[in-house]
A and B are shown apart, each in its own frame.
Chain A
Amino acid sequence: MSRRPELLIPIVFEAGNTALRKVANWRSNRPVIERRLCTNCLICWIYCPEPAIYMDNEGNVQIDYDHCKGCGICAEECPRKAIKMVMENV
């Protein structure tokens, strides 16, 4: 919500608050990273349209499942084929 609700104006003052929207239900498949194959090269990260991929505190690449739409680009582009697209449980 706009941080300044008293100002009914078409300006949004809360930068980047689309992060509050969970678009997870858009996807039919989810990417799953196979740890032993992943080298944390970050190629999946640079090609993610959302971005729904990030590096955690240990330097491991992780999928942000709240925001991943399941497009499959990461799985397609991973040089090690370390990402598999798995069907979502319905």
Chain B
Amino acid sequence: MTGNEAVAYAVKQADVDFISAYPITPQTIIVERLSEYVSSGEVDAEFVPVESEHSALSACIGASLTGARVFTSTSSQGLALMHEVMYIASGLRCPIVMAVANRALSAPLNIHGDHSDIMGSRDSGWVLIFAENPQEVYDYIIQAFRLAEHPEVLLPVAVNLDGFTVSHSSEPVAVLEDAVVRSYLPRNPRPRLEYEEPSSFGVFALPSHYFEFKVEQERVLRRAGELVEEISRAYPNSHGRLVKLSKFNEDGRIAVICMGGTTGTVRHALKHHGLEDFSLISLKLFSPFPGKELLEALSEAEGVVVMDRATSPGAALPPLASNVAATLYEGGVSLPLLSVVYGLGGREPTLKMVLEMLDKAEERLRARGRAVSRMYLGYGGGVA
């Protein structure tokens, strides 16, 4: 199945109660497929076809606060439209699961894949997971529900899949049985809207209280990161466990850090082209950023290449590179860093381009010493 189909299938098996979503390329299939499942009765849920993404996430918050298990999905402009509500979803501690088929942001209008949509919301307090392929999408969506609904977490979780390359590519996916998924996802009570337990959700906080709420959110997000191991250990398929990052070729001197679909291309390049000098760190958890695990993974590295599928205009570095640099600095580690921006607007990094990148990487790293060097992979058709 494709990445989108994997999302829909996993959500169906998770005994979701409420789905509210708006179609947008390249996520539309998720909405259509779930709508079919609800209509045929394969899943007992309410599907509300709202009139905008902003209303989609708003309806999800309302539904989540009744204690229901809630799912939505979007991309690009839709994610940007629901931006204000994302902060509210995490502030109100709603365990919503959202699949984001990452797509470029307008202007100019582009319907193809890159990570700029979710990077625009990286401060919204959500747990952000990146899947490499449809199998991971399936496994991570299910684990996302468990992580979101964990009594110590109660935070919204977004599972990201590259638009078109992961959302629309078809691969064999090993699925669990319905009953197995259900038993992995028990229901936990949490504060909810009910006449016999009258509470006020979403109150007004003056300067005397707001600060503490926000710092508490930071703490809870970090706790969610700590609990990833616990919830994934219980996952019935040991090969599908959510990890914060995985490393390929431990002995490589130069670490390449990548997220999402392109990780597969890099791994293939390393595996089949004898590039033993390089190791690949596939990052699955972007928020909360696994600084400790990353420092451990980089303990033997002599240089690091960070691949970003988004830019952060006006910022010191693109999003992932920025987090990596900060992590290194916090850990007192100084390494040559090459920040690569690739694949914007769906310009897929081919194997040839990745090989070229790896070829030039070492010289770029060496040229700048401890400073940061940059590369635009695919710009103007080549390597810039």
Contact A15 B199 (CB under 8 A): yes
Contact B212 A10 (CB under 8 A): no
Contact A10 B199 (CB under 8 A): no
Interface bin, chain B: 10 to 19
Q: Is A23 an interface residue (CB 8 A)?
A: no
Q: Hey, what's the 0/1 contact readout for A8-42 against B, CB within 8 Å counting as 1?
A: 11111101100000000000000000000000000
Contact B213 A12 (CB under 8 A): no
Contact A8 B213 (CB under 8 A): yes
> A8: which B residues are within 8 A, CB to CB?
212-213, 216
Chain B proximity of A5: nearest CB distance (Å): 11
Contact A11 B198 (CB under 8 A): no
Chain A proximity of B289: nearest CB distance (Å): 22
Q: List 5 A-B contacts (CB under 8 A).
A: A7-B191, A9-B92, A10-B202, A10-B205, A12-B199
Contact B93 A13 (CB under 8 A): no
Contact B199 A11 (CB under 8 A): yes
Q: Is B91 an interface residue (CB 8 A)?
A: yes
> A15: which B residues are within 8 A, CB to CB?
198-200
Q: Hey, what's the 0/1 contact readout for B189-207 against A, CB within 8 Å counting as 1?
A: 0010000001111110100
Contact A12 B93 (CB under 8 A): no
**B56-89, CB < 8 A from A:** none
Cα separation A8 to B154 with both chains bound (whole Å):
12
Contact A13 B212 (CB under 8 A): no
Contact B216 A10 (CB under 8 A): no
Chain A proximity of B205: nearest CB distance (Å): 6
**B165-211, CB < 8 A from A:** 191, 198-203, 205
**What 7 pairs across the A-B complex have the smallest Cβ distances?**
A15-B198, A8-B216, A12-B200, A13-B199, A11-B201, A10-B203, A9-B93
Chain B proximity of A6: nearest CB distance (Å): 11
Chain A proximity of B91: nearest CB distance (Å): 6
Cα separation A15 to B191 with both chains bound (whole Å):
13
Contact B91 A10 (CB under 8 A): yes
Q: Which residue of A lies closest to B216 (CB)?
A: A8
Q: Which residue of A lies closest to B92 (CB)?
A: A10
Contact A12 B216 (CB under 8 A): no
Cα separation A10 to B209 with both chains bound (whole Å):
10
> A9: which B residues are within 8 A, CB to CB?
92-93, 191, 213, 216
